[in-house]
Amino acid sequence: MTDVTVDTGYTSPSISALDPEAVRRRVAQRRAAEWRFQAYGVAAITFGLLCVALLFTVIVAKGWPAFLQSTLKLEVAFDPAVIDPAGKRVTDDIMAADYQALAAAAIYKQLGIAPDDAVATALADGLLSTGADVDLRKLVLADPSIIGKTQSVYLLANGNVDAVLKGAIDRAVPEASRQIKDQQLAWVDQLVTGGRLSKAFNWGLFTRGASSQPETAGLGVAVIGSFFMMITVLLVAVPLGVAAAIYLEEFAAKNRWTDFVEVNISNLAAVPSIVFGLLGLAILINFVGLPRSASLVGGLVLALMTLPTVIIAARAAITAVPPSIRQAALGIGASKMQSIFHHVLPLAMPGILTGTIIGLAKALGETAPLLMIGMVAFVVDYPRTPLDPATALPVQIYMWSTAQERGFVERTSGATMVLLVFLLAMNLIAVILRRRFERKW
Amino acid sequence: MVAASDASVLNGSGAKTLTGPGAHSGKISARDVNVFYGENQALKSVNVGIPERSVMAFIGPSGCGKSTFLRCINRMNDTIAGCRVTGKITLDNEDIYDSKLDVVQLRARVGMVFQKPNPFPKSIFDNIAYGPRIHGLAQSKTDLEGIVTASLKKAGLWDEVKDRLKEQGTGLSGGQQQRLCIARAIAVGPEVILMDEPCSALDPIATARIEELIDDLRKNFTIVIVTHSMQQAARVSQHTAFFHLGSLVEKGETQQIFMAPTDKRTQDYITGRIG
Amino acid sequence: MTRLLLSALILALGGAAYGLATDRARQLSGGKLSNLHSRLSYYGFFVALWTVLPALLLVIAWSIAEPMVMHSVVQSQLPADILTKSKAEVAMVDSSIGTIADGFQRLTPTELAAALASKTSLVDLLGSKGVALGTEPEAFQIAAAQQLNRWSDLSRYGITTIALGLAALGFVLSMFRLTGKLRARNAVEKIMLAGLVGASTVAILTTAGIVLSMLLETIHFFQKVPPQDFFLSTVWDPRFSAAGSTGTAGGQFGLLPLLWGTTYISLVALVVAVPIGLLAAIYMSEYASKRVRTVVKPMLELLAGIPTIVYGLFALISFGPFLRDAGAAIGVPVSASSVLTAGFVMGIMLIPFVSSLSDDVINAVPQTLRDGSLGLGATRSETIKQVVLPAALPGVIGAVLLAASRAIGETMIVVLAAGIAANITVNPLQPVTTMTVKIVSQLTGDLEFNSPQTLVAFALGLTLFTITLGLNIYALSVVRRFREHYE
């Protein structure tokens, strides 16, 4: 290109020297290209926002019925002959009684069916949840004096009845391929008009444990398990993370070791979460011998996973405190440790707290590592300590999502809504904290 | 250009009559220009004419509005959110804030060189060719090479870089980078070149070369230079305007401004009492 | 619980030591606190730390070591013919001995002696105390259980005595060192600093733990399945891991189909996420007004806060069926779980990740470059395409690689939406499976720890870890160099 000889007097063609019409056309083209490019950007953002909207719409649309549950109001006769034939009022005997029979008797009476009509009773049984006995047993154990009396009791209806009330079963489908029979449908309508069958807020979703029946399955165990895990994460990851951040930010010399630690932390933050689960399985369960399915193990795994997040947030918060504060403290004779713990740390606290909450939110929604350490467990009873078997909210969602029954499908989305509400609340707190304590130096 | 007697400019108020034809003649002329950044007024009623094929220097203490005014001339202020310009600026008697005028075309006619050398992370050749390419100034590859060579020659950089046109522009020294940026501006064949403190990031030797270059370029271009250094203004410019606190205080031939300023503030600034 | 009680007791002793030490320091000062080198509380902490730390560390160390010691105690009691049985059976015997020992604890010594002498049924006796035994224990089990109980008693009393002794010793020795000239603050701060250093190494210990544990299990795996059968085979068919069985049991563990599935889904995800995330970031940082930014940005970031299980669920209940029905409507068979389903939904998940990383990178490009281009009369989009993006390219590449690493390690979306069949197919409408899916499916359910069916999960995990680590290190260093370039 250098063989082109041009003397210094050569003037570049100016835009004013070009044909004005050609310039106008070219500028119009460039403006069109500019407009197209902006349109791509708007389209990308619109797509993202649509995804947000779609995601929430789908989950809420599928999940809200889970917060309502069909309930039967029945006059249950607590027949001593069924509950405690020996009449000794021993807990073991009361525990072992056939409560489902009580519930069944109540519904036969309500519908006017003879108890010896095998066909009708079988159909009527299908209106009741098979978990109704648990609730009745609880009632009797809480107050044995009701034995022998007749009381109005709210009992769970069967999942199919629930589906009918929520309009999820199409009555036009031929009886043979419908999960609920014509006779049962007639009864349902009769009970609804009689005010005996209605939908009520589903408290059981929050209080019950695992169950193979959707209507008696709840998030109780999962919520407690998640709570234990969050406490563990808080107690392990936050002190460790803040201490590590203080060391790296305030004390560590700039050398290879510090570099290594830093690279390590940023890499750890990007390690797939499932790998932390493998770590927990190999070390905490196989080597140390902690029990599987325990929320302590889950908490420790999540704590290790959250640690880099806390360290990074804490370091950012500590660097944001201006050096003048440290110098002021050192200048009046405080030791370095004193200047950090008395002055720097309190000022960095809001930032650390915000980072911690965001880390906790991430840990709360994490599923994969918990699958590795046996949190996929069928746990009926509330865990009392972090060493008892438990599940976690996202794991419960996973387990329900693999179940086929209609009731579980809505519960899966319902549980997701519960999880999302928790997460939104945590993020909101983080945002408020940040706004409240934001400080410009 | 004739220095306007500027009693009316001094009070900084809006409505006024201008004396002397100079305020409206020349390549560029500004009339009653106000600039606001949100609520703050950065420039108050500036009136000035900039003569063709000469160098005009804007001087004044930092924050006086001289750079703001410079950026009005090719509408670079459009890129700052919340910036509002009122009044009229014309280039060859054409209103540059006219809604029909395309800013892209304006900037092809009014080039700009910035405080810090800002070569693109591309080769030296591509740096120069960037402008001609986007404006479609070259009809062929040879054309483009001609433009690049000529621009580099005019910027006095040709001999230093002719063997490494494919190397990164960012690999040059600071002074070379700034001359590269000047060459880049020249390559689109502008009529006016705006220079915003082009030497403030350079050492004295590189500064001297740029100043020589500016003197050279005056033959073909109208040049407006903002500078912190009064010596530089005295060395390179034929006309000088002094800005203070957002107002144009005094303007005139450089000789006259430095030797016999009429305004007390100009005097104080030149003697180093404010600044 | 007793261990907790002991720890609490030690902490209480520490509290008392603090009080005594501050009193002593006050005496030493002779009423004038400025005679002391440090403030009173530091003398208190000095003695308290010496009282608490050694004792507490011992308790913690022993708590970790005890199960292993107890295990070897039980092993030493087992007859040789039991030890030669399979690992699973030994483990079963182990746990039964634990149960028996637990049952014995609930009996009084006389009850136990009487029971053992009279050969009454231990199943009934322990059952009445709430401990359920399957079969009547054999003699060696009873002996081992008794031995275990003796050792645990010994351990309990021993550790209590030693820990309390250590606490007392620490207290006495540090009290002796207490003089007015003692630099208590410096001593306390040294211990604190040691604590801080310790905390900063936890990250390294974690990484080391990950590498070591997975490496060990992977070596186990390769002892049963040759490495070439893992890395080079195209057939994944692990069969079932029957409890108690050992050996390969004829399973085939080819990595390639899983690697293919992982790569394919990640590619689809990146094809969705990178253009959209990048364009969104460009629009946000170059065009959007401040007001639009403050509203829209947090809304997009919502996507980043949603747990991946929710995305998986979305793919499972909504997007997958939608694709399948849409395919059926135009006569193209689409499987409900497919590369497209998983990849697309994963792409949505990655949009905010790509866009926030690119946003950082684009903002790091200096404004002067944009001014230079705009000053030449370039339009904004020309400036972005020809100046900003080329300048930001290394950072953008880093962001894409980090996103790729995220995609490769993502688990829940693929578990719910990708399928479980290990296919090598280029048809995006067919299901494939990934490494993470197989790790999950090999490790959930009943585990037989010594079978290749389980161990392969660790080999997969190590492969996954190595790939993502390589990507992360490279991407982070690219981004770091990019930042330094413009700082």
Q: What is the pLDDT along chain A (441 residues), one digit of tens a residue?
A: 343 333 444 556 777 778 888 888 999 999 999 999 999 999 999 999 999 999 999 999 989 888 998 898 888 888 888 887 777 777 777 777 888 888 888 888 888 888 888 888 888 888 888 888 888 888 888 888 888 888 888 888 888 888 888 888 888 888 888 888 888 888 888 888 888 888 889 888 888 888 888 888 889 999 999 999 999 999 999 999 999 999 999 998 888 988 899 889 999 999 999 999 999 998 888 877 788 889 999 999 999 999 999 999 999 999 989 989 889 988 888 888 889 999 999 999 988 998 999 999 999 999 999 999 888 888 888 998 888 889 999 999 999 998 877 788 889 999 999 999 999 999 888 888 887 876 655
What pLDDT is recorded for position A369? Answer: 94
Can you read off the two tokens belonging to residue A214? 């959707």
Same domain, A229 and A361: yes
By the CB < 8 Å criterion, does A21 face chain B? no
CA distance C22 to C46: 10
Q: Using one digit for the tens of pLDDT, what is the confidence trace for B25-39?
A: 588 999 999 999 988
* Strand intervals (E) in C301-441: none
* Residues of chain B contacting C390 with CB distance shorter than 8 Å: 120-122
Question: What residue of B is the nearest CA neighbor of C392?
Answer: B121
CB contact under 8 A, C306 and A423: yes
Same domain, A327 and A261: yes
CB contact under 8 A, A51 and C348: yes
Is A12 within the bounds of a domain? no
Is the pLDDT at C429 greater than 60, yes or no?
yes
Q: What angle do CA C288, C294, C295 make, to 5 degrees?
A: 95
* Residues of chain C contacting A246 with CB distance shorter than 8 Å: 196
A119 to each of A112, A116, A176, B156, how far by Cα in Å?
14, 9, 16, 105
Which residues between 213 and 242 in chain A have a beta carbon less than 8 angstroms from any beta carbon of chain C?
A: 239-241
Can you read off the two tokens belonging to residue A195? 């005010």
By the CB < 8 Å criterion, does B192 face chain A? no
From the list A14, A17, A27, the residue facing B102 with the nearest CB is A27
**pLDDT band at C398, cuts 50/70/90?**
very high
* Residues of chain B contacting C371 with CB distance shorter than 8 Å: 76, 79, 112, 114, 118
Query: Which of B196-210, C115-129, C323-337 comes out lowest in average pLDDT?
Result: C115-129
* Residues of chain A contacting B153 with CB distance shorter than 8 Å: 6, 8
By the CB < 8 Å criterion, does B146 face chain A? yes
From the list A55, A276, A361, the residue facing C314 with the nearest CB is A55
From the list C201, C300, C416, the residue facing A401 with the nearest CB is C416
CB contact under 8 A, A45 and C296: yes
Is A330 within the bounds of a domain? yes
User: φ, ψ for residue A74 (rounded to 5)?
Assistant: -125, 150
What pLDDT is recorded for position C243? Answer: 45
CB contact under 8 A, A48 and C189: no
CB C3 within 8 A of CB C58: no
Is A174 within the bounds of a domain? yes
Same domain, A56 and A86: no
Please give the ipTM for the structure prediction. 0.88
For residue C39, give its domain range: 3-182
From the list B76, B121, B185, the residue facing C374 with the nearest CB is B76
B54 to each of A378, B25, B191, C7, how far by Cα in Å?
87, 14, 11, 87
Same domain, C265 and C405: yes
Cα–Cα nearest to A303, from A254, A217, A369: A369
Which residues between 159 and 188 in chain B have a beta carbon less than 8 angstroms from any beta carbon of chain A?
A: 162, 165, 186-188
What pLDDT is recorded for position C251? Answer: 77
Same domain, C118 and C10: yes
Same domain, A259 and A121: no
Residue whose token pair is 């005595």: C161
Q: What is the mean pLDDT of residues B220-230?
A: 92
For residues A181-219, one letter each, b for 16 or more C-beta atoms within 10 angstroms of the residue's C-beta and e for the rest, the string is eeebbebbeebbeeebbebeebebbeebbbbebbbbbbb
Q: How far is A416 from chain C (nearest CA, A)?
A: 7
What is the H or E stretch that residue B88 is in?
A: strand B83-91
The domain spanning residue C338 has which CATH number?
1.10.3720.10
By the CB < 8 Å criterion, does A10 face chain B? yes
* Residues of chain C contacting A398 with CB distance shorter than 8 Å: 309, 312, 412, 415-416
Is A169 within the bounds of a domain? yes
The domain spanning residue A320 has which CATH number?
1.10.3720.10
CA distance C77 to C71: 10
User: φ, ψ for residue A271 (rounded to 5)?
Assistant: -70, 135
CB contact under 8 A, C201 and A261: yes
Residue whose token pair is 């003796």: C150
Which residues between 267 and 296 in chain A have a beta carbon less than 8 angstroms from any beta carbon of chain C?
A: 267-268, 270-276, 278-279, 281-283, 286-289
User: φ, ψ for residue C288 (rounded to 5)?
Assistant: -60, 140
Is A392 within the bounds of a domain? yes
CB C285 within 8 A of CB C370: no
Cα–Cα nearest to C392, from C430, C347, C359, C427: C359
Is the pLDDT at C23 greater than 50, yes or no?
yes
Is C323 within the bounds of a domain? yes
DSSP symbol at A271: S
What is the H or E stretch that residue B37 is in?
A: strand B28-37
* Residues of chain B contacting A6 with CB distance shorter than 8 Å: 146, 149-150, 153
Question: What residue of A is the nearest CA neighbor of C318?
Answer: A58
Same domain, A389 and A255: yes
CB C450 within 8 A of CB C87: yes
DSSP symbol at A389: B
Residue A29, class by beta-carbon neighbours within 10 Å (0-12 exposed, 13-18 middle, 19+ buried)? exposed
Q: Using one digit for the tens of pLDDT, what is the confidence trace for B47-105?
A: 999 999 999 999 999 888 999 999 999 999 888 888 899 999 999 989 999 888 889 88
The last residue of a domain, from among C157, C182, C207: C182
Cα–Cα nearest to B274, from B11, B61, B67: B61
C377: left (phi over 0), alpha (psi -120 to 50) or beta: left
CB contact under 8 A, C204 and A260: yes
Q: What is the CA radius of gyration of chain B?
A: 19
Is the C-alpha dihedral spanning C243, C244, C246, C249 positive or negative?
negative
Q: What angle do CA C295, C300, C305 make, to 5 degrees?
A: 120
The last residue of a domain, from among C145, C161, C182: C182
- The model's pTM is 0.85
Q: What is the CA radius of gyration of chain C?
A: 32
CA distance B100 to B248: 29
Question: Does residue C6 or residue C76 have the better pLDDT?
Answer: C6
What pLDDT is recorded for position B8? Answer: 35
The last residue of a domain, from among C162, C182, C202: C182
Same domain, A425 and A280: yes
Is the C-alpha dihedral spanning A247, A252, A254, A256 positive or negative?
negative
CB contact under 8 A, A13 and B147: yes
Can you read off the two tokens belonging to residue C118? 């009279």
Is C437 within the bounds of a domain? yes
B197: left (phi over 0), alpha (psi -120 to 50) or beta: left
The total number of structural domains that make up chain A: 3
Same domain, A361 and A224: yes
* Residues of chain C contacting B131 with CB distance shorter than 8 Å: 376-378
Is C244 within the bounds of a domain? no
Which residues between 17 and 46 in chain A have a beta carbon less than 8 angstroms from any beta carbon of chain C?
A: 30-31, 33-34, 36-38, 40-45
* Residues of chain B contacting A16 with CB distance shorter than 8 Å: 109, 191
The total number of structural domains that make up chain C: 2
**Pairing assessment for the beta strands C252-253 and C236-237 based on DSSP bridges:** antiparallel
By the CB < 8 Å criterion, does A248 face chain C? yes
Domains and CATH numbers, chain B: 26-270 (3.40.50.300)
From the list C217, C279, C302, the residue facing A44 with the nearest CB is C279
Can you read off the two tokens belonging to residue A277? 């689960």
* Residues of chain A contacting B189 with CB distance shorter than 8 Å: 11-15, 17
Question: What residue of B is the nearest CA neighbor of C286?
Answer: B79
For residue A111, give its domain range: 67-202
Q: What angle do CA A1, C368, C300 make, to 5 degrees?
A: 115
Question: Does residue B20 or residue C412 have the better pLDDT?
Answer: C412
CB contact under 8 A, B109 and A11: no
User: φ, ψ for residue B32 (rounded to 5)?
Assistant: 55, 50
* Residues of chain C contacting B188 with CB distance shorter than 8 Å: 376-377
CA distance A144 to B190: 99
CA distance A224 to A383: 7
Is the pLDDT at C165 greater than 60, yes or no?
yes
Task: Note the helical H segments in C225-239.
Answer: 227-231
Q: What angle do CA B37, B39, B45 make, to 5 degrees?
A: 65
Same domain, A59 and A74: no
Question: Does residue C63 or residue A340 have the better pLDDT?
Answer: A340
Q: What angle do CA B69, B111, B229 make, to 5 degrees?
A: 55
For residues B187-212, one letter each, b for 16 or more C-beta atoms within 10 angstroms of the residue's C-beta and e for the rest, the string is bbbbbbbbbbbbbebbeeebbebbbe
* Residues of chain C contacting A49 with CB distance shorter than 8 Å: 296, 299-300
Question: What residue of C is the nearest CA neighbor of A239?
Answer: C199
For residue B251, the cross-strand partners are B241
Is A209 within the bounds of a domain? no
Query: Which of B133-147, C169-183, C202-216, C425-439 comes out lowest in average pLDDT?
Result: C169-183
By the CB < 8 Å criterion, does C292 face chain B? no
Is the C-alpha dihedral spanning C256, C259, C265, C270 positive or negative?
negative
